[in-house]
């Protein structure tokens, strides 16, 4: 599914669909993510985006996905879905990714992921009552549900209102595969 919105002079699309990742695999990643929340050397606490007064969100750092082999199959599927959905001349690769857990009542302040090209959020576990991802620039909300992948242009500001249920996610950013920072 995709939603086309007008932002500025050109329309943009937000994509969402289920990955159909096997339940046992999602459960394994969820367990690892919750374990990491309390025990992993790859964990960071984010204060800039996530509201400290509502309890800081604890998530893996941006490079942890490279060091944790369990994520590789899921991230390859996410990368494949992004390349299938986005009808452009470039093929995309994951630049960075992180996983984490929202507890009940936690929020994410409005933010964007520039200068990346596209960003994503995949929900390994998100049960009813659902809490949406809000796209603040365009007044669109998409309920976070288990196995749902949301892909959007990185410049779109988005936020999360107070979570009504725990949710476990992996988020990240993609850039064109042929992008080479050494050529800048």
Q: Which two tokens stand for residue 70?
A: 């369990």
Residue 25 lies in a domain: yes
pLDDT tens sequence across 96-147: 888 888 889 888 889 999 989 999 999 999 999 999 999 998 889 999 999 9
Residue 134 lies in a domain: no
Residue 59 lies in a domain: yes
CB contact set of 105 (below 8 Å; sequence gap of 6+):
54, 55, 162, 163
Averaged pLDDT of the chain:
81
pLDDT for res 184: 47
User: How far apart are alpha carbons 124 and 76 in whole angstroms?
Assistant: 15
Residue 170 lies in a domain: yes
Residue 149 lies in a domain: no
Residue 15 lies in a domain: no
Residue 119 lies in a domain: yes
pLDDT tens sequence across 25-56: 999 888 877 655 555 544 444 434 444 444 45
Range of the domain at 31: 20-128+166-176
pLDDT top residue among 162 and 10: 162
Residue 183 lies in a domain: no
pLDDT tens sequence across 60-77: 666 667 777 888 889 999
Our count of domains for the chain comes to: 1
């Amino acid at each position: 599914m995709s939603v086309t919105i007008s932002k500025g002079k050109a329309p943009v699309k937000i994509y969402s669909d289920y990955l159909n990742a096997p339940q046992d695999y999602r459960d394994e990643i969820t367990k690892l993510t919750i374990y990491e929340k309390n025990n992993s050397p790859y964990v960071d606490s984010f204060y800039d985006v996530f509201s400290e007064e509502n309890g800081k969100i604890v998530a893996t750092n941006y490079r942890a996905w490279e060091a944790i082999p369990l994520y590789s199959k899921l991230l390859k599927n996410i990368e494949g879905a992004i390349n299938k959905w986005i009808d452009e001349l470039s093929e995309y690769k994951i630049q960075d990714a992180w996983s984490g857990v929202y507890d009940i009542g936690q929020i994410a302040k409005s933010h964007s992921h520039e200068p990346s090209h596209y960003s994503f959020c995949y929900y390994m576990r998100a049960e009813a009552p659902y809490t949406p991802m809000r796209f603040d620039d365009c007044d669109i909300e998409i309920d976070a549900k288990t196995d749902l992948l949301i892909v959007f242009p990185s410049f779109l500001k988005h936020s999360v209102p107070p979570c009504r249920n725990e949710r476990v996610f992996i988020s990240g950013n993609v850039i064109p595969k042929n992008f080479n920072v050494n050529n800048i």
